[in-house]
């Protein structure tokens, strides 16, 4: 789709904020109808703000919605966590619409209260939607009770219960969003879908594969550095990456018996990167230990956090 020059557009930034694991990145992927953000069953998957840009015609209205997918807001125990919460807070200052996303299958937790407070404190008069996700995971009565509790947390926001898995109420959510967007020309070209380069997306996909395949406390201590990213035309892309862990013992687990775990992580990631870019990819991953990197300001900056 091209941007039409003399057409009236509604455009703006929509921040998706919520505690970890409620489905923020899943919402981004489903509304854009393609995978741009890492999604895993583990909390704290997203570490940095990422844009997902939707340029479309919704019920005869030309729109460009720039979603800001943010890290889940939690009580940080590491400097990395502090950075993640700052990212989410920053998105609130930059947006035209707030999507406060919660897990509708559970009553509000401390983290939901904390975040509702942060949203109120930014004290801006931007409109907001209270997105109550995962309605597929509980019965109607439970859902009604939870909706009531969440609504009292954010009384000024328009509540809507959705299920991303079952694709329920997404169209109504779009209606509300479009209604709240300001009249404005588009900010980005129509074919741009995200602000991340393939290099960063590839790093996130490698981390996503590791998160999906590894257990327990190791995943949160993982960070990926792309060392080489070379285009080789018909032969596709050559990618060399280093996967950093925090402990020697973690390194052994990531590598696995005779390298079997690392092989699985690599092949899962390679397939995803190939699917994303539509070309062949050769991926090589090595594993290194960088002790306590999550609390080291200097190392965090080096990794782009
Ligand atoms: N049952 C059910 N599961 C869902 C739904 N939406 C998302 N999920 C699952 O919830 C998990 C977390 O999804 P993410 O999109 O990674 O959540 P997030 O809010 O981005 O998480 P962080 O990046 O860690 O803050 C994944 O396993 C999703 O498949 C839904 O509507 N119903
Ligand atoms: Mg996420």
Decide if 185 is inside a domain: no
Q: Is the CB of 72 under 6 A from ligand 1?
A: yes
- Is residue 203 domain-shared with residue 73, that is, in the same domain? no
Unique residue bearing structure tokens 């109420």: 169
CA separation for the pair 219, 290 (Å, rounded): 14
- Is residue 232 domain-shared with residue 292, that is, in the same domain? yes
Decide if 27 is inside a domain: yes
* DSSP letter string, 55-87: EEEETTEEEEEEEEE-PPP---SSHHHHHHHHH
Across the range 15-34, mean pLDDT stands at 96
Decide if 268 is inside a domain: yes
- Is residue 127 domain-shared with residue 213, that is, in the same domain? no
- Which atom of ligand 1 is least distant from the CA of 38? 16
Record the pTM.
0.92
Q: Which of 180, 210, 238 is the last residue of a domain?
A: 180
CB atoms under 10 Å from CB of 41, counted, come to: 8
Find how far residue 292's CA is from the centre of its chain.
24
CB 75 within 8 A of CB 114: yes
Decide if 190 is inside a domain: no
58: domain CATH number?
3.40.50.300
Decide if 144 is inside a domain: yes
Q: Is the CB of 44 under 6 A from ligand 1?
A: yes
Q: Is the CB of 136 under 6 A from ligand 1?
A: yes
pLDDT tier at 299 (50, 70, 90 boundaries)?
confident
What's the 94 CA to ligand 2 centre distance in angstroms?
19
- Is residue 273 domain-shared with residue 150, that is, in the same domain? no
- Is residue 139 domain-shared with residue 24, that is, in the same domain? yes
H helix runs in 227-259, sequence order: 248-255
* DSSP letter string, 165-203: TTTBSHHHHHHHHHHHSPB---SS-TT--BSS-HHHHHH
- The pLDDT, as a whole number, for residue 6 is 82
Q: What is the DSSP letter of 293?
A: G
Q: Is the CB of 134 under 6 A from ligand 1?
A: yes
- The pLDDT, as a whole number, for residue 213 is 94
- The pLDDT, as a whole number, for residue 283 is 97
Query: What's the mean pLDDT when you consider all of the chain?
Result: 94
Decide if 265 is inside a domain: yes
CA separation for the pair 147, 10 (Å, rounded): 29
Model confidence at 138: pLDDT above 90: yes
Domain of residue 245, residue span: 198-302
Helices 110-121 and 140-153 sit at what angle, rounded to 10 degrees?
Answer: 40
Model confidence at 277: pLDDT above 90: no
Decide if 193 is inside a domain: no
Name residues whose C-beta falls within 8 Å of residue 249's C-beta, 6 or more positions apart in sequence. Answer: none
- Is residue 224 domain-shared with residue 83, that is, in the same domain? no
Atom 8 (ligand 1) nearest CA: 23
Atom 2 (ligand 1) nearest CA: 134
Structure tokens at 58: 């919704």
Q: Is the CB of 23 under 6 A from ligand 1?
A: yes
- Which atom of ligand 1 is least distant from the CA of 42? 24
Decide if 159 is inside a domain: yes
**How many folded domains does the chain comprise?**
2
Q: Is the CB of 219 under 6 A from ligand 1?
A: no
Q: Is the CB of 24 under 6 A from ligand 1?
A: yes
- The pLDDT, as a whole number, for residue 123 is 63
- The pLDDT, as a whole number, for residue 15 is 97
The residue to mutate among 16, 26, 43, having the most atoms of ligand 1 within 8 angstroms of its beta carbon, is 26
- Is residue 25 domain-shared with residue 142, that is, in the same domain? yes
242: domain CATH number?
3.30.300.20
CA separation for the pair 98, 68 (Å, rounded): 10
């Amino acid at each position: 789709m091209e941007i039409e020059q003399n057409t009236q557009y509604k455009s703006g930034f929509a921040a998706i904020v919520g505690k970890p694991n409620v489905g923020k990145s899943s919402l981004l992927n489903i509304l854009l109808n393609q995978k741009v953000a890492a999604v895993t069953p583990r909390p704290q998957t997203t570490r940095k703000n990422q844009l997902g840009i939707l340029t479309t015609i919704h019920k005869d209205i030309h729109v460009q919605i720039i979603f800001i997918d943010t890290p889940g807001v939690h009580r940080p125990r590491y400097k990395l966590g502090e950075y993640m919460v700052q990212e989410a807070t920053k998105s609130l200052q930059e947006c035209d619409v707030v999507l406060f996303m919660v897990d509708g299958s559970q009553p509000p937790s401390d983290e939901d209260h904390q975040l509702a407070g942060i949203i109120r404190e930014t004290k801006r008069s931007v409109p907001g939607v209270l997105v109550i996700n995962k309605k597929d995971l509980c019965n109607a009565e439970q859902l009604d009770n939870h909706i009531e509790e969440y609504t009292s947390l954010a009384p000024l926001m328009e509540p809507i219960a959705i299920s991303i898995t079952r694709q329920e109420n997404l169209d109504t959510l779009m209606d509300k969003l479009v209604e709240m967007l300001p009249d404005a020309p588009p900010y980005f070209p129509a074919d741009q879908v995200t602000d991340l380069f393939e290099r960063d997306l590839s790093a996130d996909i490698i981390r996503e594969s590791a998160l999906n395949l590894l257990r327990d406390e190791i995943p949160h201590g993982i960070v990926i550095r792309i060392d080489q990213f070379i285009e080789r035309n018909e032969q596709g892309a050559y990618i060399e990456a280093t996967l950093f862990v925090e402990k020697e013992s973690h390194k052994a687990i990531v590598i696995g018996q005779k390298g079997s775990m690392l092989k699985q992580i690599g092949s899962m990631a390679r397939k995803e990167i190939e699917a994303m870019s539509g070309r062949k990819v050769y991926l090589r991953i090595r594993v290194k230990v960088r002790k306590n990197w999550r609390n080291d300001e200097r190392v965090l900056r080096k990794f782009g956090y």
